[in-house]
Amino acid sequence: MRPRLPRRPSRYWFTGLRPRLAAAFVAVALLASVVASGIAYVLVRRSMLQRAQDTALTEVRGVVARTVPSRLPPDAVGTVSGDLTFRLTYGRDDRRAYAGPLALDGPIAVPVPAADPGSPREDALHVPVSQEFARRATRGMVFQRIVRRGKPYLLIGAHAGNYVTTAKEPQRTTPPIVFVSVSLESEARELRSFTRSVVIADAAALAAALLLALAATRGVLRPVRRLGRAARALGDGDLTVRIPERGRDELADLARTFNATADALERTVTELRAMDAASRRFVADVSHELRTPLTSMLAVTDVLTENAAATEPGGTAARLVAAETRRLGILVEHLIEISRFDAGAAALQLDDVLVGEAVAGTLAARGWTGRVTVDGPAGLIARIDPRRFDVVVANLAGNALKHGAPPVRLEYGPAERDGRPGFRVAVTDHGPGLSEDLLPVVFDRFVKAEAARTRSEGSGLGLSIARENAVLHGGTLEAANAPGAGAVFTAWLPLGPEEADGLDGLDGLDGSDGRDG
């Protein structure tokens, strides 16, 4: 059964892929709806205005044709004008008319329908007619749309020219003119209603588009999120994580690729772990196998050194063999210690320790009492493993004495870290300090300050073992260069571990190693 992938809260509400896809989907839907609505509005508006315009022009043309006789008596112009006005406006609140002789040398004002028919100010509503419009009306029927006090109107001009004139009636050579104003307010109301309907429809379309976008993006992005969770789990070390392969699209192909990559990675990591474990077992086995013969060799070389005369050539060789054998013994002990850390077999044997006395004992056991200046409170008590603490102090002080310059100073005292009570031990020398390229790797295994010197008293494991002991206590070990001085190594250990085992610890090491990692 495949493990269930952990879910993580979304952190990309505004910048994630889903909101961007949804925004793009909604933007396309909005653009399409706006374009369609705009085209529909233009077409509907043109159709409505054309219909109203054609209807009004047909009615005016028919009324003029039916009202004006083919032979008009000389004294009937006023009567015909009144009759035209009556017929053009009878029963129509949305229409007003002017009929009479055309006076091109004076202004003409045509009444327009009031927004509220029957109001006292209805007769005061007029619109001036331009001379150009009047001249065009004498040559045929003309019209134009105007706006008066925010209301739309259609203004129609025509002349009554379907009668016969004689030379004895010169005053009638200028035919009577007809102006009609038609209110377009009903069409405007219909357009406003249509606009509201279009806006509501567009809003509903956008809401539907948003819901569809969220549903579509959810279906598309669910495999992507599943792949992201699987990648995070794989990065956290869960090599068994896989994602289901569903469908035959690009996302399914991506899932298959991820699973194949995870399978290959799991096989590779498993092989590497097996090889690493085998190499660690090999080092541990070799170290244990070398310990017994080395013990015998050390005893024999000590006897040879004591019995050999200083002047004899064999005495120098014996002392050289004894020194190299001791160096080999220290290296084997360090390898055994490292192998126990790697195997997880290292444990603490905790005890209440006076830090000042433990530091003094470490220095006295190695003959460094007068060479290292110690400063710290005498009554500081910590629950630590005294043997492993001895290894840490011995390595730090030994490195400062070997690779630094006097004075070497060791300071200890209480120090709290992350709200947890503890104490620090800092060893500072006045030597050249650590190079910049050595600082990041000074605690790595087999790293030495002078890498070119293949023969040295140090094994390259001392500082690495010291750091492992500090970490085993729940503390840290750091290296830096002190301003105005040399290198400074700082160990921080808790005053009392939160959880302590009563298992026996390992014997402390000499720790008089060179400045090595």
- Clarify whether residues 286 and 182 are in a common domain: no
Three-state SS at 517: coil
Residue 402: which CATH number? 3.30.565.10
Please report which confidence band the pLDDT of residue 158 belongs to, taking 50, 70 and 90 as the band edges. Answer: confident
- Clarify whether residues 266 and 332 are in a common domain: yes
Lowest mean pLDDT among 78-87, 148-157, 169-178: 169-178
Give yes or no for a contact between 107 and 71, defined as CB atoms under 8 angstroms apart. no
- Strand ranges in 311-366 using DSSP code E only, listed in sequence order: 351-354
Lowest mean pLDDT among 35-49, 222-236, 295-309, 485-499: 295-309
The whole-chain average pLDDT of the chain stands at 77
- What is the C-alpha separation between 383 and 372, in angstroms, rounded? 24
Start-to-end CA span in the chain (Å): 44
The number of residues making up the chain comes to 517
- pLDDT tens-digit series, residues 68-111: 776 666 666 677 778 888 888 887 888 888 887 766 566 677 77
Domain that holds residue 487: 347-494
Average pLDDT estimate for 208-222 = 79
- Clarify whether residues 369 and 433 are in a common domain: yes
- What is the C-alpha separation between 121 and 119, in angstroms, rounded? 5
Average pLDDT estimate for 448-473 = 70
- What is the C-alpha separation between 508 and 384, in angstroms, rounded? 13
Task: From 80, 419, 33, select the one nearest 197 (Cα to Cα).
Answer: 33
- Strand ranges in 311-421 using DSSP code E only, listed in sequence order: 351-354, 372-375, 381-384, 408-414
Average pLDDT estimate for 169-198 = 79
On whether residue 503 sits in a domain, the answer given is no
pLDDT score at 477: 92
Q: Containing H/E element for 6?
A: none
How does 206-233 read in b/e, with b if 16+ C-beta sit within 10 Å?
A: beebbeebbeebeeebebebbbebbeeb
pLDDT score at 502: 36
- Strand ranges in 150-208 using DSSP code E only, listed in sequence order: 151-159, 176-183
Give yes or no for a contact between 358 and 390, defined as CB atoms under 8 angstroms apart. yes
Residue 287: which CATH number? 1.10.287.130
What are residue 11's phi and psi, to 5 degrees?
A: -115, 10
Q: Is the pLDDT of residue 168 over 70?
A: no
- pLDDT tens-digit series, residues 424-451: 999 999 888 888 888 888 888 777 655 4
On whether residue 229 sits in a domain, the answer given is yes
- Strand ranges in 415-511 using DSSP code E only, listed in sequence order: 422-428, 476-481, 487-494
pLDDT score at 111: 79
- What is the C-alpha separation between 347 and 338, in angstroms, rounded? 13
Average pLDDT estimate for 235-264 = 84
Q: Is the pLDDT of residue 224 over 70?
A: yes
pLDDT score at 269: 86
Dihedral sign, Cα of residue 437, residue 443, residue 445, residue 448: positive
Give yes or no for a contact between 231 and 241, defined as CB atoms under 8 angstroms apart. no
259: number of Cβ within 10 Å:
16
Per-residue DSSP letter, 266: H
Please report which confidence band the pLDDT of residue 286 belongs to, taking 50, 70 and 90 as the band edges. Answer: low
Q: Is the pLDDT of residue 214 over 90?
A: no
Helices marked H in 404-502: 462-472
Please report which confidence band the pLDDT of residue 249 belongs to, taking 50, 70 and 90 as the band edges. Answer: confident
The residue among 244, 272, 307 that closes a domain is 244
User: What is the rounded (10 degree) CA torsion for 397, 402, 406, 409?
Assistant: -10
- Clarify whether residues 257 and 154 are in a common domain: no
The residue among 339, 362, 389 that closes a domain is 339
The residue among 182, 209, 244 that closes a domain is 244
On whether residue 511 sits in a domain, the answer given is no
On whether residue 500 sits in a domain, the answer given is no
On whether residue 282 sits in a domain, the answer given is yes
Q: For the chain, how many structural domains are there in total?
A: 3
Per-residue DSSP letter, 208: H
On whether residue 462 sits in a domain, the answer given is yes
CA distances from 500 to 275, 361, 392, 424 (A): 32, 24, 19, 20
Please report which confidence band the pLDDT of residue 515 belongs to, taking 50, 70 and 90 as the band edges. Answer: very low
- What is the C-alpha separation between 210 and 202, in angstroms, rounded? 12
